[in-house]
Amino acid sequence: MLERLVTNLSRQQPHRTSESDRPQAAVALLLVPDPDRLLLIRRAERDGDPWSGQLALPGGRYHTADVDLLATAIRETEEETGIRLERGWCRAELDDLVPRTPTLPPIMVRPFVFLLLEAIRPGVSNEVVHAAWRPLADLVVEGVHGSRTIDVRGESRVVAGYQLPEGFLWGMTERIVTPVLTAWQALR
């Protein structure tokens, strides 16, 4: 089913932001079959990091040494989890995203979907304190996705997200994962 999912995702024309003055970043949505799972990380708690401690996908900011944003996603995934991806494993690009919260940095994030044949054991790093493969089926259980009030840099906000044993997955990661889960469910 994941093969059909990534094929369908690759056929969609991703929306590209026209805001070229924003710093750029990339994330990797890693999928593996049997059972269908995705890799989630918990970011380390760090002063000055607006995404400190959050559940997320591996990724980070573009560096001038990166040939493109796909290279950024591959480099960041290895730095954060020790998983060495190959360009050919990237099967789709998703819509560019920018934060909806005005208190967050004005960054543009490009998600890349990778399909791996089997789960590679993730490690942790100074940027990541936890990494684990989460079954997609866990994310579509009734009651897992919903709204919650959280504090974002001193501002109380109601946000959509997934309540998981590891914590609350919300923000841009929720906006990346939700359409992929919707497409996955449509194939079941």
- Asked whether the predicted pLDDT for residue 173 surpasses 80, the reply is yes
CATH of the domain at 129: 3.90.79.10
**Any domain includes 131:** yes
Residue 81 belongs to domain spanning:
2-137
**Any domain includes 152:** no
At residue 45, the pLDDT reads 84
Q: What is the mean pLDDT of residues 69-75?
A: 98
Cα 140–Cα 26–Cα 82 angle in degrees, nearest 5: 80
What Rg, from alpha-carbon coordinates, does the chain have?
A: 16
The pTM of this model reads 0.94
Nearest to 27, CA basis, from 153, 177, 159, 178: 177
**Any domain includes 16:** yes
At residue 60, the pLDDT reads 94
Average pLDDT over the chain reads 93
**How many independent structural domains does the chain possess?**
1
**Any domain includes 155:** no
Which of 33-42, 46-55, 111-120, 131-140 is the least confident region? Answer: 46-55
SS3 167: strand
- Asked whether the predicted pLDDT for residue 152 surpasses 90, the reply is no
- Asked whether the predicted pLDDT for residue 144 surpasses 90, the reply is yes
**Any domain includes 178:** no
| Cα gap 114→182, rounded to integer Å | 17
Kind of pairing between the strands at 24-32 and 59-61: antiparallel
**Any domain includes 181:** no
186 sits in which H/E element: helix 171-187
**Any domain includes 177:** no
> What pLDDT band is residue 50 in, cutting at 50, 70 and 90?
low
At residue 100, the pLDDT reads 80
At residue 116, the pLDDT reads 98
Residues of the chain above pLDDT 70, percent: 97
Beta carbons within 8 Å of 75's beta carbon, 6+ residues apart: 63, 66
**Any domain includes 144:** no
- Asked whether the predicted pLDDT for residue 175 surpasses 90, the reply is yes
